[in-house]
Structure 1
Amino acid sequence: MRRILDIIKKRTGGQAKSTIPFRLNLLFFIVFVLFALLVGQLAYLQIVYGGKFQAEVDRTDKTVMTGSVPRGMIYDSEGRLLVGNSTENAITYTKSGSVKSSDIYQIVNRLTKYLTVEKTNLSSRDKADYILSAPGKSSKVVKQMPKSYRVNSNGEALSTTKIYANEVKYVEKQGIHLSDKDLQRATLFKKMSSAYSLSTVFLKDKGLTSREIAQVSEHLTELPGVSIGSNWDREYPQGKSIESIIGGVSTEQQGIPDDELNSMLASGYSRNDRVGTSYLEKSYESILSGTKSKREVQVGSNNQIKKSSVVYGGQKGGNLNLTINSKFQKQVQSALKEQFSAAKSAGITQYSDGAYVVAMNPKTGAILAMAGIHNNPQTGKTSEDALGVINRTFVMGSAVKGATVLGAMMDGVITPTNNTLADNPIYLPGTSVKKSVYPVGTFSSLSAIQALQVSSNEYMMALAMKEANAKYTPHSYIKMDSDIFSKLRGYFNQFGLGVKTGIDISGETTGIEGSTTNSSGQLKTGSALDLSYGNYDAYTLIEMAQYISTIANGGYRMKPYIVQSIQKTKDDGTKGALTSVTKPSVLNKVGFTNDELDVVRKGMYAAVHGSGYWTTATRLASLEPKVAAKTGTAQSFYYNPDNPSSDPPETVTNSLVTFGPYDDPNIAMAIVFPNLTSEKGSYPQLLAKQIYTDYYKLTGQK
């Protein structure tokens, strides 16, 4: 040691100097320089960019949110409310952009101190989501999970999504036991979590007490996103029997139907908007839904809602005024139920589909009433099915013969003054005789008027054979022009048979055409004859109503409609100014002459007021003012859906078309009782008679 000191002294001139103060000074100098640089940088940022950073802190984005408005109401032709809205207070939640599951968890637990909600059917996943959202719960579960739940076979960490799925799996394996209150919280948590960013959902909108409203209102500051609002539901002051015509509205949970999602989102709807899903509610959705309210929301840089203000209160949905008189509608429904019950008591409805009726103004196309009963042959239970009038098809039988006769006159094979034909049955090879209900030989010949009066099938087949230039040898041979089906159907179509009527209710179907050739490609001549008297193609009842209205009004095929006008809603909820009125629409004019039409009208009058045993619609003869009608009976079969391979039992379908008063028609009707086991009873005529009686009394016609 001494040796070392001697060497140092020699090199330093005899004195040893310490290096520690120099190192400390160097260190202090470096720290000073760094600190000075930091202060300079902070000063630079404060002076140059301070305003910019402050603006960023205070920055808000303005977002426009839309809100639903009360749906428009629906009234009958006399101004009676058919469909309205019942408004109730509601607790709502608007989800902010950056809210976390743990935040929702805390809001839910605070909210259930003041609010009781109905538990829903929660899946185990829903319950696990609620449990894992508790502050710190997720990280705690991750630590408890087996290593295989966190890393893969290579020791690499799993994705966040996969780890969370394993958290749920782990919690489910441990067993989930929630109290009644926790289940309520989990229900709210699910609703709030599933909401879209900045969208509003209803947490409770039924059975909300004044105490709950008061308590929630007092604590809104600790419940971010929660507010007091209102919701509506459809109500039916005149009863729900009209609902099958009106249609339905989706719930908030159902939202927009999947098949219309893209188009409605593009039109400004939200996914959870309540919209019309069927019939009038759907057809007039754009009118009934109104114009949404607009709320401007200011969202801060932390994605929390800072301010909200209404910029447009919205416009309530428009009101629909229908052509239907609800009093008459109820009378029609009651009469239909009475006659179907009578048929049921007679034991002839075991295979029946039900019964349907529609009445319309033949001059305008306005629907006056429509009602239907659907019968389930397996259970015998019945249900309201007014829409069966436009979406169910039936083989109607002889009720279409008016179109057959007028088609033949337009084709030129008969004329108003030369229309008497031999009344002979048709004998085709390999099939039973084609004839009328009365015995062969009852009539040697018939005029067109007489043929309609007694409903002669032979006469209609003779017309079809003339139109087809048929060559016929009884029992052995018949040949027809290949266009006979298109010719007959072409005339039928002019009256509305076999084509859509254009009624302003969504869901209308069209009639069903039978095949024109057999498996060998040969023309089905026998079926062409069946078509001529209504025993082949199937039609909807609204098509039948349009057809008889065309005969009643002089040849104009009118477009049926059920909405008479559209009306605004005032701020106080009352009806405002009319925005549109439906004008009668002529779809086409059928090309017959007045003389040709007169033949058919007289034939339908004779079917009611003519003499003789085989006159078909005499149960309507006592009505005043007088009416005209044409009955129909078609052979049909009941196919059991539970046993489709079994031989179907043979049934009959009874139908009726009618109009009145005869001299100046203002009501036309079509009625069908399908798949009865007996044609006895004349239920369509008895139903029509009651409806005429009620209608004449209601409208003061004598």
Structure 2
Amino acid sequence: MVEKKKKKKKSQLPFRLNILFFIVFLLFSVLILQLGVVQILNGEEFQAEIERTTKDYTEIPVPRGKMYDRNHNLIVDNEAHYSITYTPAKGIQAIERLKVAEKLAQYISMDSNDDLEGVTLRNKKEYWYLKNEEEAKSRLSAEEAEGMEPGEQYNTILERIKKTEVDDFTKHQLEVMAIKKEMDKAMTLTPQVIKNEDVTPEEFAKVAEHLGELPGVNATTDWDRKYPYDDVFRNFVGSITSESQGILAAKEEYYLTRGYSRNDRVGKSGLEEQYESLLRGRKEKIQYTTNKQGKVVDSEVAVEGERGKDLVLTIDMKLQKEVNKILKEELNAIIKENPYKNRYVDTAMAVVMNPQTGELLSVAGQTYDRVKNEFKPTGLKTLYAAHPPGSAVKGATVLSGYESGVIEPGQSFYDAPIKIAGTPEKSSWRNLGRVNDYEALAQSSNVYMFYIAMRMGGDFNYQRNDKLNFDPSAFRQMRNYFSQFGLGVPTGVDFPYESAGYEGPAPQAGNLLDFAIGQYDTYTVMQLAQYVSTIANEGYRVRPHFLKEARMPVPHEDKLGPVYKSYNTEVLNRIEMDQKYIDRVQEGFRRAFQTPSGTADGYFADKPYNPAGKTGTAEFEIYEDGNMIYTENLSLVGYAPFDKPEVSFALIVPHTKAGNSINNKIGERILDTYFQLKKERKNPTKDTSEEQTGNEE
């Protein structure tokens, strides 16, 4: 019986084991099936997740385009220099940047005053925080932190770091902070300059040798602008922002929407600003591949970089240097001749251009600093400093008289002092007797212009000591005529800014008479140049411009590439006046320069280049110690040759005293120089090279 029970137990044991084995088999089968599903159906997806990488792009700046004068002499160049940059990967933490900064500080010096003085108290506290993180965090209790955002927690901790705890850093530690401060400005995958001024060859070599231990750091080259002609024309060229400035904050949105980065250098003044879109070039685009940890695993050039386009300007640098020299010498002569009498004069300005094309050949100015006893270039005043020009505008006055119908060609008036009831007597520089329109321009009759103004105001029956019948709308009518020449309106010059001059506010009869002789509204020298060019150019007003053409960059740095775009003559308007009227004013201008009675015949009558033009003198009041002192603005406009004009000019010398002819002397020397240079270029000697060093100013 017992034996039978044992047999029964033995038979039950294998059965239970079989059930257990079966269950285990089922479990393994399910596991194998699941692994199969993962491997076969989802294997590629999971493998892709394991190998997942991200492709990002960064853009590397390229050198800006260069600038040349009309004869292809280099005005603005690029000068390469060493630069140390930092390009952070994604997700880089502050402590990691600090470690890189500490290593980098072993190879470069940041001991300049600007760098070390730029380290703020907050920079020091941030450094202390990273070096003593546990202790720093202990200064904020868990209860306090509970109701704060992370940024608020961090700022509170920094506030609780005492100033005394960060006062004793070594010079080396301060240099580390200066480096990290620059690194903190960097945006992901965007190069940030750490040091580019005075990077020594030794520093460059050490950094380049240890790049493997300096993640994100690069030893590369950057560019600064170089000016072979020193200060000659420099104020028109303008400037660009520094690496630390980046794009201009006032125009941030403008630049960012056009593909700029915040640390890109841009033109901030002058032609650098005006033609930023041409000069900037195309940045090199690098594609970076990063893994899940944010480490760069591959990179390749996606878009080749291209240097900015080169600009060929209309300026003749040799003429520019000479005009500056002329202005300086003539100013110096009258100041030294009589320092007290000419104590108010300090500036002379001139514009030389091609009246048919609007090409600006020279735009110059010189100002004498009496405190420093030196001259400095102030050519920008030709664009923004407006002055009453005097009789130089009488050509526009006569043409206004013709077109409005208040005078006829050849009409004459007796030049004797004008006296209107209740006002001071007005006259010409001397009593000229009876003069017609030709003689009024040649001899600069104020009275002739007064008759035009009175008639345009509605009074055709002037009687001495009577009041005038006057319609104030005559002011607007005459200004409308003047604006056709560019007087009182923007010239349209291709520069970031220019003044349109100033309109006198009181529309009274006496002021209209002053307006007619250029002693009420004010104009810039650029406006006067456009005005005389319009008369020389048969009534066609053209836009003055600095840019002649843009050229494609080429690998050979010493050569100009093919033309990208030419900037040709742009006619703004043709004055609404009969050609026979323009012809008469042109003849009046010729007589002013070439006939014995002309106001400038002593300087231009015997010139072979057949000039024409108009002198101007405007009284200008200066108050000194409560006393009113009269000074004179001397101006001159002209062109040559009379029968086929190729050059025109305008100039003003404000605040002189009576008795000198500096305007005529400057104008004569400018035209003499222009035609002499033309002759030299037509018949070059063996040595025709132009010096590009030294400052004639």
The reply to whether TM is greater than 0.5 is yes
C-alpha separation in 1, matches of 2:465 and 2:119:
71
Moved more, 90-99 or 466-475: 466-475
Letter in 1 for 2:121: R
- Which of 288, 291, 295 is matched with 1:297 structurally? 288
- Which of 449, 452, 456 is matched with 1:463 structurally? 452
Kindly provide the CA deviation profile for residues 488-525 of structure 1, in whole angstroms up to 9, marking residues without a partner as x: 111111111111111122212212211244xxxxxx11
Match of 2:10 in 1: none
C-alpha separation in 2, matches of 1:203 and 1:381:
38
* CA 295–379 in structure 1, closer or farther in 2 if over 3 Å, else same: same
Match of 2:362 in 1: 369
Pair 1:479-2:459 in alignment: no
C-alpha separation in 1, matches of 2:617 and 2:628:
18
What SS class does the counterpart of residue 393 from structure 1 fall into?
coil
* Runs of at least 5 residues in structure 2 that lack an aligned partner in the other structure: 1-23, 683-697
C-alpha separation in 2, matches of 1:360 and 1:67:
40
Match of 2:674 in 1: 695
Match of 1:274 in 2: 265
Pair 1:601-2:596 in alignment: no
Match of 1:338 in 2: 329
What SS class does the counterpart of residue 543 from structure 1 fall into?
helix
Q: Are the equivalent residues in 2 in contact too, given 1:115–1:212 (CA < 8 A)? A: yes
Letter in 2 for 1:140: E
C-alpha separation in 2, matches of 1:428 and 1:239:
55
What SS class does the counterpart of residue 269 from structure 1 fall into?
coil
Match of 2:71 in 1: 78
| Aligned-residue offset at 1:353 | 5.8
What SS class does the counterpart of residue 263 from structure 1 fall into?
helix
Pair 1:127-2:123 in alignment: yes
| Aligned-residue offset at 1:377 | 7.6
Match of 2:566 in 1: 581
Letter in 2 for 1:142: K
Match of 1:195 in 2: 186
C-alpha separation in 1, matches of 2:87 and 2:79:
23
Match of 2:136 in 1: 141
Match of 2:688 in 1: none
| Aligned-residue offset at 1:476 | 4.2
* CA 51–140 in structure 1, closer or farther in 2 if over 3 Å, else same: farther
C-alpha separation in 1, matches of 2:220 and 2:33:
51
Where in structure 2 are the equivalents of 1:157-306 lying within 5 Å? 158-169=148-159, 170-306=161-297
* CA 72–532 in structure 1, closer or farther in 2 if over 3 Å, else same: same
| Aligned-residue offset at 1:210 | 3.2
- Aligned length, in residue pairs: 647
Match of 1:401 in 2: 394
| Aligned-residue offset at 1:168 | 3.1
C-alpha separation in 1, matches of 2:32 and 2:346:
91
C-alpha separation in 2, matches of 1:349 and 1:71:
45
C-alpha separation in 1, matches of 2:225 and 2:34:
63
Match of 2:378 in 1: 385
Moved more, 273-282 or 425-434: 425-434
Q: Are the equivalent residues in 2 in contact too, given 1:130–1:186 (CA < 8 A)? A: no
Q: Are the equivalent residues in 2 in contact too, given 1:453–1:615 (CA < 8 A)? A: yes
Letter in 1 for 2:248: P
Kindly provide the CA deviation profile for residues 71-109 of structure 1, in whole angstroms up to 9, marking residues without a partner as x: 101001111100010012322110122111111111011
Match of 1:423 in 2: 415
* CA 303–374 in structure 1, closer or farther in 2 if over 3 Å, else same: farther
Match of 2:694 in 1: none
- Which of 487, 492, 503 is matched with 1:502 structurally? 492
* CA 209–674 in structure 1, closer or farther in 2 if over 3 Å, else same: same
| Aligned-residue offset at 1:284 | 1.1
* CA 157–590 in structure 1, closer or farther in 2 if over 3 Å, else same: closer
What SS class does the counterpart of residue 569 from structure 1 fall into?
coil
Q: Are the equivalent residues in 1 in contact too, given 2:454–2:509 (CA < 8 A)? A: no
| Aligned-residue offset at 1:110 | 0.7
Pair 1:541-2:564 in alignment: no
Give the TM-score normalised by the residue count of structure 1: 0.86
Q: Are the equivalent residues in 1 in contact too, given 2:124–2:177 (CA < 8 A)? A: no
| Aligned-residue offset at 1:175 | 4.0
Backbone CA RMSD of aligned residues: 2.9
* CA 204–349 in structure 1, closer or farther in 2 if over 3 Å, else same: farther
Pair 1:490-2:480 in alignment: yes
* Runs of at least 5 residues in structure 1 that lack an aligned partner in the other structure: 1-31, 518-523
| Aligned-residue offset at 1:296 | 0.4
- Which of 536, 555, 562 is matched with 2:546 structurally? 562
* CA 133–626 in structure 1, closer or farther in 2 if over 3 Å, else same: farther
Q: Are the equivalent residues in 1 in contact too, given 2:66–2:310 (CA < 8 A)? A: yes
C-alpha separation in 1, matches of 2:178 and 2:671:
55
| Aligned-residue offset at 1:338 | 1.0
| Aligned-residue offset at 1:374 | 4.0
Q: Are the equivalent residues in 2 in contact too, given 1:375–1:382 (CA < 8 A)? A: yes
* CA 57–222 in structure 1, closer or farther in 2 if over 3 Å, else same: farther
What SS class does the counterpart of residue 394 from structure 1 fall into?
coil
Moved more, 586-595 or 267-276: 586-595
Q: Are the equivalent residues in 1 in contact too, given 2:55–2:289 (CA < 8 A)? A: yes
* CA 175–587 in structure 1, closer or farther in 2 if over 3 Å, else same: same
- Which of 116, 126, 142 is matched with 2:109 structurally? 116
Could you tell me the percent identity over the aligned residues? 31
Q: Are the equivalent residues in 1 in contact too, given 2:383–2:498 (CA < 8 A)? A: yes
Q: Are the equivalent residues in 1 in contact too, given 2:390–2:517 (CA < 8 A)? A: yes
What SS class does the counterpart of residue 140 from structure 1 fall into?
helix
C-alpha separation in 2, matches of 1:489 and 1:234:
43
Letter in 1 for 2:247: I
| Aligned-residue offset at 1:123 | 4.1
C-alpha separation in 1, matches of 2:255 and 2:621:
43
Give the TM-score normalised by the residue count of structure 2: 0.87
What SS class does the counterpart of residue 484 from structure 2 fall into?
helix
C-alpha separation in 2, matches of 1:104 and 1:437:
77
Match of 2:651 in 1: 671
* CA 685–250 in structure 1, closer or farther in 2 if over 3 Å, else same: same
Letter in 2 for 1:662: F
What SS class does the counterpart of residue 134 from structure 1 fall into?
helix
- Which of 487, 502, 506 is matched with 1:512 structurally? 502
